[in-house]
Structure 1
């Protein structure tokens, strides 16, 4: 069986201590790593510092840091610091995100995302080596940068996130792992072909590239409540977050559904957007429902050849008790 990890809730939480509490709970329940999404709430570096200080064994990592809002040298420094605080438990994930986030929220041009991600990985690795960084790329040019502290004794693996064929190929060619999200089982298999092609282009063994699948999970004794949370989550991301997720669904055989959701959101009809998310789509993209049903569906994703880690993630509308119930029900030893 693959190892289970957890994506800490992307939704707003009352305090940083609440987020840390979820990580501690996941550690107690046997999860291997606590990933922290960085969206429009608290920044990942600060919160992961608190998680590192208040846990003992669980791995930590941001998933994802976008490659536009920070310089790669700064991310290298941040990774070195978090690796020190966590005593070697860090793994980071980088990715371009999408225009709605980069242009709309950060005021940066969403230009050459694949090339930028590739060079970003190069620079972060160079910084973490502790050597002087002299880098001359198409996008980044650095000269004379060097850490003023010792580089990490334990190397920091660098993963890349991506949903499209070329971005996944890039992960296979240049990164230590690939973070997959909003993919059906068939969609994962298609992208795994892209990952293997990238690894071969880079002269690498595809088995050396770790695949982490982020899976929307919601568990409740009231199975319909769990499924409703997942519907709300999916319709929001497809309808309100630009074309990024809509295009991903369309590539996986749900083009009509994706456009129906987006059109309903665009017309301000959230009820219609929710209604467009059918049971087949919910089961193709997550593990939601009663504890028994969710465990069975999660196990099916774990059996997909080529998936190394499944990260239990939560709908944005899930309340604290619902997050805790899902962590408990889907724990590795549950």
Structure 2
């Protein structure tokens, strides 16, 4: 079996930026294809800039940048400069974020998500092309632009745009407009087939080849020299996901709806030990890879038939960030064939 094309998503709050960059360089040296930065406790532009400046081969992107708290013209400016800095290694990942986060943290009404996403992508593409195609104007229902042109580019700037999409209409929109789709942390062979079908519907709407739409899927990955400790961390990550309504819907689609609602209730009551204890081994085996390096390498084989490529991640929810960093340091070995495993000719 060929080695998987692996990516990693680095989401941290307190870990120093220099340490994040060092971790990205370690993953580059190990053979990872890309490293992504999510917009959670940190905004992603500064970490991406630092990482692009410190690396030379690995792809770097946002997965994801939230579209509610920012303007698409500014996002396009940032994307163009990141692409210049990285000599073509940058990918822009966009997404909605969670409604309660958008309204609580940014004070922006969580309204008209499909319309906002469509217009946001159209404006970003228009601005990126403005240096070659002339001043860009746009009259949308949400966004308006008057005769803007990128002042620091001499030709259109090519930046792949990937869209985080869980719901059916958003996945269809990704098939219609985006260069790629980013699927969240909960999925199965059945759900991935449904995702491909929705991409096809959107691509057909735009008269484009659905195979042009790259597919990345998040995969919770907990690596430790202690297998039981790795599974304990996986439980905490799965509890974290129950806090989000869109993930509870996916849990329900995969047959864990009532259990996920109960776990979410325990989390709201701050009964975290009970919430973690309610996570079943079946849920860990369905949605995570967790264990030693060798065990996780074996578990990755479950995804050999999946479309697209995995983005390994571990959210520091009730997990010390040093332990998350160590998990990624060990996970670097997953991109390398084990000793003695290379075929001879």
Q: Distance in 2 between matches of 1:104 and 1:302?
A: 40
Stretches of 4+ aligned residues off by more than 3 angstroms:
151-154
User: Do the aligned partners of 1:161 and 1:178 also contact (CA within 8 Å) in 2?
Assistant: yes
Instruction: Report if aligned partners of 1:218, 1:315 keep a CA contact under 8 Å in 2.
Output: no
Deviations 1:113-150 (A, max 9, x none): 11111111111111111231111111111111111111
Encode CA deviations 1:216-244: one digit per residue, 9 max, x unaligned.
101122111011111111202313xx423
Q: Which residue of 2 aligns with 1:216?
A: 220
CA distance in 2, matches of 1:220, 1:19: 19
Counterpart residue number, 1:100? 100
Q: Which residue of 2 is the match for residue 325 of structure 1?
A: 330
CA contact (8 A) 2:36 2:63 kept: yes
1:20 and 2:21 are equivalent in the alignment? yes
RMSD: 1.6
Question: What is the CA distance between 1:291 and its match in structure 2?
Answer: 2.0
1:180 deviates by: 0.6
- 1:24 positional shift: 0.1
Distance (whole Å) between structure 2 residues aligned to residue 91 and residue 14 of structure 1? 23
Distance in 1 (alpha carbons) for counterparts of 2:337 and 2:14: 27
Distance 2:298 2:286 in 1: 13
Is the 1:229–1:315 contact (alpha carbons within 8 Å) kept by the matching residues of 2?
no
Q: Secondary structure at the match of 2:242?
A: helix
Q: Which residue of 1 aligns with 2:163?
A: 160
1:207 paired residue number: 211
8 Å CA contact 1:232–1:274 kept in 2: the answer is: yes
Q: Does residue 258 of structure 2 align to residue 253 of structure 1?
A: no
Distance verdict in 2 for CA 1:267–1:196, change over 3 Å: same
**Which of 271, 278, 281 is equivalent to 1:279?**
281
CA contact (8 A) 1:96 1:114 kept: no
Query: Quick check: 263-272 or 55-64, which moved more?
Result: 263-272
SS of alignment partner, residue 103 of structure 1: helix
- The structure with the larger Rg is 2
**1:310 is paired with a residue of what secondary structure?**
strand
- Structure 1 runs not aligned, ≥5 long: none
In the alignment of these two chains, the number of paired residues is: 327
Partner of 2:126: 126
Normalising by structure 2, what TM-score? Answer: 0.90
Distance of 2:92 and 2:336 partners within structure 1: 22
Moved more, 121-130 or 290-299: 290-299
